[in-house]
Amino acid sequence: MIKNIGILTSGGDAPGMNTLIFNLVKFGIKNNLNIFGIYKGFYGLYKKKIKLLNNKNLSNISNTGGTFLKSSRFPELKNYKIRKKIIQNTKKKIDILIVIGGEGSYKGALELNKMNLPCIAIPGTIDNDILGTEYTLGYFTALENIVKAIDNLKDTSWSHNRISILEVMGRKCGKLALAASLACSCNLVITPEKKIKKEEIIQKITKINKKNISDNNIIIITENIYNIKKLAKEIEIKTKIETRSTSLGHIQRGGKPVSLDRIIAYKIGLHTIKLIKKKKLGQCIGIKNGKIINYKLKK
Ligand code: F6P
């Protein structure tokens, strides 16, 4: 009989994780399930940091950012002995493990699922880089944070007739940069999927500013492509337009989830508990054409 469900958040936290946990607990309890919170991701599973959750004390934090279960990266999970210990730790205590996280967390869920700890993986990352889902929990809030940052940046950049480079997160995925660029009509967007050589960047920016200095002189770039300080210097020398660079950093990952992330969290919570009741395990949850779907957890 399925009775005890464990939940953990792993990798980078994402806004909406708390809303999702709240809904999993709420719908879980309604369905006579015991919901256990595992603290600090897979590390907590290894160290037996497990506590029974109750939805009464969760409503206050249900719409806050971050994850109250805390998160961690736990590369040690690649080690078979560590996984074996986790399987021993969870035996008779947890029937199903819900893993909320990004790509790395999915790999962990897959490995434990193979070792007979049934897992359900839920996409929780601002990067929106998980195959099989159109959106991930936290993406829309991070996008909103970036858009607000660009609006602020534009005010000061425009006042000085400057070019500004804004670096955003995304790891190896340019979706945040691309969407923010569309939302703010930035002059240029550089993503891992469409890297642009420095010479080409300078050519494009020179062309845009040829007649008059543009009012939209924002270049948005995904992290880990160029050293943005150096790039700003080079652009300034070549275009003779003052250029500044800003890395948005972890600010974009925080804050209360926007409505869309809260609604996604609610729908995913409900769908996941329904799946559990149907004993459909070893699954990933996703969003397709606006609907919550599930598909097999596999490589
Ligand atoms: O995966 C989420 C993410 O925010 C990435 O966009 C970023 O590259 C990474 O996490 C940063 O990780 P950390 O918080 O460990 O510095």
pLDDT band at 56 (very low <50, low <70, confident <90, very high): confident
Phi then psi for residue 47, to 5 deg, are -95, 10
Task: Give residue 189's pLDDT.
Answer: 98
pLDDT of amino acid 186: 98
Q: pLDDT tens digit string along 105-143?
A: 999 999 999 999 999 999 999 999 999 999 999 999 999
Nearest residue to 91 (alpha-carbon basis) of 100, 102, 83, 103: 83
Any bridge partners for residue 168, and if so which? Answer: 222
State mean pLDDT over 67-84. Answer: 98
Amino acid residing at 270: L
Using CA positions, which residue lies closest to atom 12 of ligand 1?
12
127 part of the active site: yes
Nearest to 284 by CA among 130, 145, 178: 130
The catalytically annotated residue of 127, 129, 155, 215 is 127
Report yes or no: 40 and 7 within 8 Å, Cβ to Cβ: no
Burial class of residue 167, CB neighbours in 10 A (0-12, 13-18, 19+):
buried
User: How open is the CA angle 159-157-212, to the nearest 5 degrees?
Assistant: 75
Contact present, 296 and 283 (Cβ < 8 Å): yes
Indicate the residue type of 44: G
pLDDT of residue 63: 95
Contact between 9 and 120 under an 8 Å Cβ cutoff? The reply is no
DSSP bridge pairs for 7 = 37, 98
Integer Cα distance of 267 and 238 in angstroms: 51
Asked if 140 and 261 touch (Cβ cutoff 8 Å), the reply is yes
Taking the C-alpha atoms of residue 50 and residue 57, their distance in angstroms, rounded to an integer, is: 16
What proportion of the chain, given as a percentage, has pLDDT over 90?
97
Q: Half-sphere exposure of residue 146, counting CA atoms within 13 Å on the CB side?
A: 34
Number of the ligand 1 atom closest to the C-alpha atom of 252: 4
- Which tops the pLDDT comparison, 151 or 92? 151
Is the Cβ–Cβ distance between 16 and 138 less than 8 Å? yes
Among 235, 240, 194, 193, CA closest to 218: 235
Q: How far is the CA of 250 from the centre of ligand 1 (A)?
A: 8
Residue 176 alpha carbon, nearest atom of ligand 1 = 6
Whole-angstrom distance, CA of residue 146 vs CA of residue 153: 10
Q: Residue 147 and residue 258: Cα distance in Å, rounded?
A: 13
Half-sphere exposure of 257 (CA within 13 A, CB side): 30
The rounded distance, in Å, linking the Cα atoms of 40 and 9 is 7
Residue 57 in this model has a pLDDT that exceeds 80: no
**How far is the centre of ligand 1, averaged over its atoms, from the C-alpha of 38 (Å)?**
21
Ligand 1 shell residues, CB under 6 Å: 11-12, 102, 125-127, 169-171, 223, 253
CA distance linking residue 88 with residue 79, whole number of Å = 15
Closest by CA to 296, choosing from 268, 275, 266, 265, is 275
pLDDT tier at 276, thresholds 50, 70, 90? very high
Average pLDDT of the chain, as a whole number = 97
pLDDT per residue as tens digits for the range 17-51: 999 999 999 999 999 999 999 999 999 999 999 99
Using CA atoms of 137, 262, 97, 129 in order, give the dihedral in degrees to the nearest 10: 0
Nearest CA to ligand 1 atom 15: 12
pLDDT at site 52: 96
Query: Would you state the pLDDT for residue 198?
Result: 97
What phi-psi label fits residue 10: left (phi over 0), alpha (psi between -120 and 50 degrees) or beta?
A: beta
To test the pocket of ligand 1, the residue of 73, 224, 253 to mutate (highest count of ligand atoms within 8 Å of its CB) is: 253
The dihedral sign for the CA sequence 107, 112, 118, 124: negative
Cβ partners under 8 Å of residue 92, min gap 6: none
The 10s digit of each residue's pLDDT in 249-275 is 999 999 999 999 999 999 999 999 999
